[in-house]
């Protein structure tokens, strides 16, 4: 577990926003299932895979109860 620092430079990836075509940085600490937001247009994506990096546009919450949406309100 002590060998991770050799690879730090490789750990930031970029994915292209499907809406505005800006690049979205995928930080090394993000995990599969995390929410990623495009800085340019505010589109929310779910990180569905890290190797390779894959993003899926987050659907509006009305169609599923699978996500713990109310956890996000703790930021207030
Ligand atoms: Zn965008």
The residue ranges of every structural domain in the chain are 30-60
Gap from CA of 18 to ligand 1 centroid (Å): 7
Residue 43 has pLDDT above 80, yes or no: yes
Residue 64 has pLDDT above 90, yes or no: no
> What is the CATH code of the structural domain delimited by 30-60?
2.20.28.160
d(CA 40, CA 25): 12
**Residues within 5 A (CB) of ion ligand 1:** 17, 19-20, 38, 40-41, 43
d(CA 67, CA 54): 19
- The mean per-residue pLDDT over the stretch 14-22 comes to 95
- Max Cα–Cα distance, the chain, nearest Å: 43
Residue 7 has pLDDT above 70, yes or no: no
pTM tops 0.75, yes or no = no
């Amino acid at each position: 577990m002590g060998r991770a620092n050799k690879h730090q430079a490789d750990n930031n990836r970029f994915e292209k926003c499907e809406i505005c075509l800006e690049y979205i940085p995928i930080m090394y600490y993000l995990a599969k299932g995390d929410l990623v937001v495009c800085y340019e247009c505010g589109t929310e994506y779910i990180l569905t895979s890290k190797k390779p990096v894959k993003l899926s546009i987050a659907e509006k919450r009305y169609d599923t109860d699978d996500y713990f949406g109310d956890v996000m309100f703790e930021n207030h």
